C-alpha cells in the first residue's frame, strides 16, 4: 500500500495521525493511504499563508510570474510519474492524464505572463482617478475529483499570480496527485505561499468557516457550492463558485454529420463523461437526427473500455462508487421509458471496477432524468427538433448555464443561434476548448464569478479607486 505522500504546510512535508484509503477505480480496491488533515494542521497552513502573504504580494508580478514558470517547468520534469499517479487514483486513460498535465503546464505558462495593472479611469483638469488592484489575502481552493490537476492549476495559479497565498484541498477521492504537486511546489515557492492539505469533506467546511481565510475558490457540485456560500456568508468571505453543467449541443440542419459525430462523441465521453462542460444532451434537427444517431451508435461500438493504465484504453472507469451507482440508476430509469431506443457500446471488463459501457439514447423526451440531470457518465441522449425557437427554449429550460455548442456548415448563422443560449461559454463547431487567457464560468446554478483571463484575475482581487482632486486643499 502506497503511504509516502504528505501535506505541504509552510514549505515542509507533514503527515497526519489519521489517514484514509484511496481506491483504484479500475479495481475498486484501496492502493494508497492518504494523510487526513486535522483542524490544527489547517490552522498551521492558514497561519503560514498569512505570514507569507505580504511579502509574496510585494514581490511583484514579474517575480511571481517567474516562480509560476519555474513551477510549471518542475512539473514538466515529472510529467510521466505524476500522470501515472493521476490515472491510478482517478481512472482516466494514461494519455488523457498526460494531456491534462500538459494542458495544466501550458495554462501555468500563460498565467505567468498575465498582469493586472492599475488603470487611469479619469484624468482631466479637476481630477485624477486611478483604479488599483490588490490581492484578496489568504485563499482556500477546494477541488473536485474529475480533473484534479487541471483544476488545481486553473484555480490556484491565478490566485498566486494576484499576490494571494493559498491553502488547497483536493477531493478525498483523488488527493494523491495534488499532494505531489504540493511537494514539487516546495522546491519553488517561498514557505507558506502554496500549502496543500488533504482531508475528507469536513476539512472543506473548516476551510469555509475559518476566520483566517479571505477568499474561497470552490469547484464542485451545486449542492456543496450552496453550503460553501452559506458558510462563507458568516464572515462575508469572497467566493468564486465553479459548479455543475448540463451542456446542450445543437446540431443544425446544414451540419455535416460525418464530420460532427466523432467530435460530439468525444466532447461527451472524454474522462468517461465526468467533465463539467462535457456535452450532456444533443439536440439534432429532424433532417439529420437519424443519421447522427446511427453514426454515434457505430462509433460507441468501437470504443475500448478498460483500466486507464492498460494499453489502448479509450474509456476508463467512473471515478467512484457513488458516481457509478448514480449512473446505473439513470440507466435503469432510462430503460423503463416507453419507446426509448438504447444502444449499448462495447463490453466492459469483468471484475469490481467502476466500468460502464458507453450508451447512445434516442427517442427520449426532455423530461427524462437522463436529459434534465447532469449525468456525469458515458450516456449520450440525442433529441430531435424541428423549429429553432423550440430548440432554444428546450436548451435553456435548465437550472444550469455553464456552456453549450452549436454545429453548422455556416459558422456565422450558428453564432447567432449560440448568442441566444443562456450559458457562460458558447462554442461554434467545437465543444470544451478552455484557455487560460479566456474567461470561463457559469450562469444560473453553474456558478458565480469567472476564472481565467483578466476578468478571472479581477474576480480574485480587491479593487481600490483613488480619486485625487487637483485643487490644493
Ligand atoms: P463535491 O461538491 O462533492 O466536492 C467537491 C469538494 O468539496 C471536495 O474536495 C469535497 O471534499 C469538498 N466538500 C464537501 N463538502 C464540503 C463542505 N460542506 N464545505 C466545503 N467543502 C466541501 O463535488 P465532486 O463530486 O467532487 O465534483 C463533481 C462536480 O463538480 C460536478 O457537478 C461537476 O460538474 C463539478 N465541476 C465543475 C467544474 C467547473 O469548472 N464549473 C469543473 C469540474 C467539476
Per-residue b or e along 161-186, where b marks 16 or more CB atoms closer than 10 Å to that residue's CB? bbbbbbbbbbbbbbbbbbbbbbbbbb
Confidence (pLDDT) at 294: 98
Q: Distance between CA atoms of 276 and 247, rounded to whole angstroms? A: 8
Q: Distance between CA atoms of 216 and 408, rounded to whole angstroms? A: 39
Instruction: Let me know if 297 is a catalytic residue.
Output: no
- pTM of the complete model: 0.97
Q: Which atom of ligand 1 is nearest to the CA of 446?
A: 41
Task: Reply yes or no on whether the pLDDT at 347 is more than 90.
Answer: no
Q: Which atom of ligand 1 is nearest to the CA of 205?
A: 19
Pocket test for ligand 1, best of 145, 174, 221 (most atoms within 8 A of CB): 221
Q: What is the mean pLDDT of residues 386-398?
A: 98
pLDDT digits (tens, 9 = 90+) for 59-106: 999 999 999 999 999 999 999 999 999 999 999 999 999 999 999 999
Q: Measured from the CB, is residue 228 less than 6 Å from ligand 1? A: yes
Q: What is the mean pLDDT of residues 22-40?
A: 98
pLDDT digits (tens, 9 = 90+) for 211-243: 999 999 999 999 999 999 999 999 999 999 999
Cβ-contact 449, 284 below 8 angstroms: no
The β-bridge partners of 279 are 247
Ligand 1 centroid vs 208 CA: distance in angstroms?
13
Q: Distance between CA atoms of 413 and 409, rounded to whole angstroms? A: 9
Confidence (pLDDT) at 229: 98
Catalytic residue among 242, 295, 297, 374: 242
Q: Distance between CA atoms of 21 and 126, rounded to whole angstroms? A: 65
Instruction: Let me know if 272 is a catalytic residue.
Output: no
Confidence (pLDDT) at 469: 98
Q: pLDDT band at residue 199, thresholds of 50, 70 and 90?
A: very high
CA nearest ligand 1 atom 8, residue: 171
pLDDT digits (tens, 9 = 90+) for 274-332: 999 999 999 999 999 999 999 999 999 989 999 999 999 999 999 999 999 999 999 99
Catalytic residue among 34, 276, 372, 460: 276
Pocket test for ligand 1, best of 36, 144, 147, 273 (most atoms within 8 A of CB): 144
Q: Measured from the CB, is residue 227 less than 6 Å from ligand 1? A: yes
What is the percent of the chain where pLDDT is above 90?
99
Q: What is the mean pLDDT of residues 385-392?
A: 98
Q: Measured from the CB, is residue 221 less than 6 Å from ligand 1? A: yes
Confidence (pLDDT) at 349: 92
Task: Reply yes or no on whether the pLDDT at 125 is more than 90.
Answer: yes
Ligand 1 centroid vs 149 CA: distance in angstroms?
14
Cβ-contact 321, 289 below 8 angstroms: no
Q: What is the mean pLDDT of residues 411-438?
A: 98
The β-bridge partners of 238 are 215
Mean pLDDT of the residues in the chain:
98
Amino acid at each position: 500500500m502506497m503511504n509516502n505522500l504528505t501535506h505541504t504546510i509552510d514549505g515542509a512535508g507533514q503527515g497526519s495521525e489519521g489517514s484514509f484509503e484511496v481506491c483504484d477505480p479500475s479495481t475498486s480496491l484501496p492502493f494508497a493511504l492518504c494523510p487526513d488533515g486535522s483542524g490544527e494542521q489547517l490552522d498551521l497552513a492558514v497561519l503560514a499563508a498569512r505570514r507569507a502573504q505580504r511579502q509574496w504580494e510585494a514581490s511583484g508580478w514579474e517575480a511571481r510570474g517567474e516562480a509560476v514558470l519555474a513551477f510549471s517547468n518542475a512539473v514538466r520534469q515529472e510529467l510521466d510519474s505524476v500522470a501515472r499517479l493521476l490515472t491510478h487514483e482517478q481512472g482516466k486513460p494514461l494519455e488523457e492524464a498526460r494531456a491534462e498535465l500538459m494542458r495544466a503546464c501550458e495554462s501555468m505558462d500563460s498565467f505567468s505572463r498575465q498582469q493586472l495593472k492599475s488603470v487611469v479611469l479619469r484624468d482631466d483638469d479637476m481630477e485624477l482617478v486611478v483604479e488599483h488592484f490588490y490581492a484578496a489575502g489568504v485563499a482556500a481552493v477546494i477541488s473536485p475529483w474529475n480533473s484534479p490537476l487541471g483544476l488545481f492549476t486553473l484555480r490556484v495559479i491565478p490566485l498566486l499570480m494576484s499576490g494571494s497565498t493559498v491553502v488547497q484541498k483536493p477531493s478525498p477521492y483523488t488527493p494523491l496527485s495534488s499532494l505531489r504537486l504540493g511537494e514539487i511546489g516546495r522546491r519553488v515557492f517561498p514557505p507558506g505561499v502554496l500549502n496543500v492539505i488533504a482531508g475528507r469533506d469536513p476539512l472543506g467546511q473548516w476551510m469555509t468557516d475559518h476566520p483566517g481565510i479571505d477568499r474561497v475558490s470552490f469547484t464542485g457540485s451545486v449542492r456543496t457550492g450552496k453550503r460553501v456560500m452559506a458558510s462563507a456568508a458568516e464572515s462575508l468571505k469572497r467566493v468564486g463558485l465553479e459548479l455543475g453543467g448540463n451542456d446542450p449541443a445543437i446540431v443544425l440542419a446544414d451540419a455535416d454529420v460525418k464530420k460532427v459525430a466523432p467530435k460530439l462523441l468525444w466532447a461527451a465521453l472524454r474522462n468517461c463523461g465526468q467533465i463539467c462542460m462535457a456535452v450532456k444532451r444533443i439536440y439534432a434537427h429532424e433532417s439529420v437526427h437519424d443519421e447522427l444517431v446511427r453514426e454515434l451508435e457505430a462509433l460507441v461500438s468501437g470504443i475500448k473500455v478498460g483500466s486507464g493504465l492498460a494499453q489502448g484504453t479509450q474509456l476508463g472507469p467512473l471515478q467512484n462508487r457513488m458516481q457509478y451507482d448514480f449512473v446505473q440508476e439513470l440507466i435503469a430509469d432510462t430503460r423503463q421509458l416507453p419507446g426509448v431506443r438504447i444502444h449499448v457500446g462495447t463490453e466492459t471488463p469483468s471484475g469490481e471496477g467502476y466500468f460502464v459501457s458507453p450508451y447512445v439514447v434516442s427517442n427520449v423526451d426532455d423530461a427524462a432524468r437522463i436529459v434534465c440531470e447532469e449525468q456525469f457518465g458515458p450516456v449520450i441522449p440525442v433529441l430531435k427538433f424541428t423549429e429553432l425557437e423550440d430548440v432554444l427554449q428546450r436548451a435553456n429550460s435548465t437550472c444550469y448555464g455553464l456552456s453549450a455548442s452549436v454545429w453548422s456548415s455556416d459558422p456565422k448563422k450558428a453564432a447567432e443561434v449560440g448568442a441566444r443560449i443562456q450559458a457562460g461559454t458558447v462554442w461554434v463547431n467545437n465543444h470544451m476548448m478552455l484557455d487560460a487567457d479566456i474567461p470561463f464560468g457559469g450562469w444560473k446554478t453553474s456558478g458565480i464569478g469567472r476564472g481565467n483571463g483578466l476578468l478571472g484575475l479581477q474576480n480574485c482581487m480587491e479593487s481600490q479607486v483613488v480619486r485625487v482632486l487637483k485643487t490644493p486643499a
